Amino acid sequence: MKQTKEIYILGIGSYLPRRILTNAYFESRMDTTDEWIVSRTGIRERHIADDDEYTSDMATEAAKIALEDAKMSAQEIDCILVCSVTFDMAFPATACIVQKKLGHSASCPCMDIEAGCSGLIYSFEVAAGLLQLGHYKNILVIASDKLTSITDWNDRATCVLFGDGSSAFVLSTEKNGAKALLVDTLLSAEGKDAEHLLQPAGGSAMPASHETVDKRLHFLHMNGREVFKCAVRGMIAVLEKILQRNQIQPSAIRYFIPHQANLRIIESIADSVSMAMDRFIVVLQNTGNTSAGSSGIALDHAYRGGKLAKDDLLAFVTFGGGMTCASAIIRWIA
Ligand code: UT7
């Protein structure tokens, strides 16, 4: 969405749980190897939330860091959006739980957004639209997932891929102290491919029962090969489209910030835009696939690692369950 009013990113934060599982953990308990995991995905380790650490807790931690970065108190936020596929529960909205955990006492709208691993960019566009309306000044956008809570630890084809984590952003119409300008966002979805990545049970289509638990249907199920193909096709399409409509050559993008699912997927995107891999921010070797939070975590690591300079153009490109795809261009202005 092209912005008619300028939308700024005032603060950025991310959070990864302390506990780390390396590939050696999986080698010791199932038929897999570090070599297979690294060569097929690039992942070496991932962070795992404790049993009593929920999606809302990780969201709150990232939000506190983003607020501190924006030099802002929670009370100055007038809308909270949380995107995830692993909300604390079906309802109330995790955004409302985060509002409470942040000690945000003023009344403000809080809502959840579900767009798989593209949730962050979908939420950027929703936040930008709300800010354009002029009803709000500062919107807290949080992407947080505890994917390990729906991971089948007996399924070697999926359990080695995922980790937990969150990222958060303060979006505003206020320019003072801004880190970045939101230039454009582009969203898409291919519902016809939704069957390839899903959590079959627990919703209204298949309410939880002894049978669904026995059949392990409350875990994430994935057809990896199909998701891989959809991801490459969809990410290339949204990236080409957003670059074209902003008349930006790939070479003008300082860093691409892809969803952190698989190094081979990122390499395919790099090939498609004829850019070297050093133009891509990659953190998945240490995080695994953290779902909605992943591209925000990657940006935050680049920011705090001192990689970003004034006037750098950055391009997010994501995909996830749905199958959703999204891209956003931001200009670093700090
Ligand atoms: O946020 C979106 C989430 N999803 C994704 O990003 C997933 C996208 N897909 C992928 O990243 C890849 O498809 C995977 C990493 C999941 C799998 O890689 P692949 O190269 O597509 O492997 P495959 O599924 O074609 O399986 C190849 C072989 C199979 O054995 P056979 O049938 O060839 O004998 C699997 O059973 O690898 C086997 N395999 C494993 N072997 C050792 C599957 N998982 C493992 C494992 N360790 N952990």
DSSP string, 101-140: HTT--S---EEEE-BTBTHHHHHHHHHHHHHHHTS-SEEE
Decide whether any atom of ligand 1 lies within 6 Å of the 229 Cβ: no
Q: Whose CA is nearest to atom 1 of ligand 1?
A: 320
Does residue 3 have a pLDDT over 70? Answer: no
Cα gap 154→202, rounded to integer Å: 19
State yes or no: cis peptide before 92, omega within 30 of 0. Answer: yes
Question: What is the 71 CA–ligand 1 centroid distance (Å)?
Answer: 44
For residue 159, the CA-to-ligand 1 centroid distance in Å is 11
Task: Examine the domain organization and report whether 231 and 321 are in the same domain.
Answer: yes
173 and 194 belong to one structural domain: no
Structural domain containing residue 58: 7-179
Q: Is the dihedral of CA 256, 325, 2, 301 positive or negative?
A: negative
Supply the pLDDT for residue 106: 81
Mean pLDDT of 302-322: 98
Instruction: Choose one of 179, 201, 230: the last residue of a domain.
Output: 179
Each residue's pLDDT tens digit, 168-192: 999 999 999 999 999 999 999 999 9
Active site residue 289: yes
220 lines ligand 1 (CB under 6 A): no
Does residue 2 form part of some domain? no
pLDDT in tens, 131-145: 999 989 999 999 999
- Residue environment code for 274-304, b if the CB has 16+ CB neighbours within 10 A, otherwise e: ebeeeebbbbbebbbbbbbbbbbbbbbbbbe
State whether 171 and 98 are in the same domain.
yes
- From the list 79, 83, 117, 325, the catalytic residue is 117
Number of separate domains in the chain: 2
pLDDT reported for residue 272: 96
> What is the model's pTM?
0.97
> Residue 196 catalytic?
no
What is the token pair recorded at 324?
């959703």
Last residue of a domain, one of 154, 179, 204: 179
Alpha helix ranges (H) inside 79-223? 94-101, 119-133, 156-159, 210-214
Q: Which residue has the tokens 């969405």?
A: 1
Q: Report DSSP state, residue 186.
A: E
In a domain, 51, yes or no: yes
| Sign, CA torsion 282/285/289/293 | negative
104 is an active site residue? no
Residue 190 placed within a domain: yes
Q: What is the pLDDT of residue 4?
A: 75
Tens-place pLDDT, residues 38-70? 999 999 999 999 999 999 999 999 999 999 999
Question: Which CATH number covers residue 103?
Answer: 3.40.47.10
Q: Which atom of ligand 1 lies nearest, measured to the CA of 265?
A: 11
169 CA to centre of ligand 1 in angstroms: 33
158 and 189 housed in the same domain: no
| Ligand 1 center from residue 223 Cα (angstroms) | 9
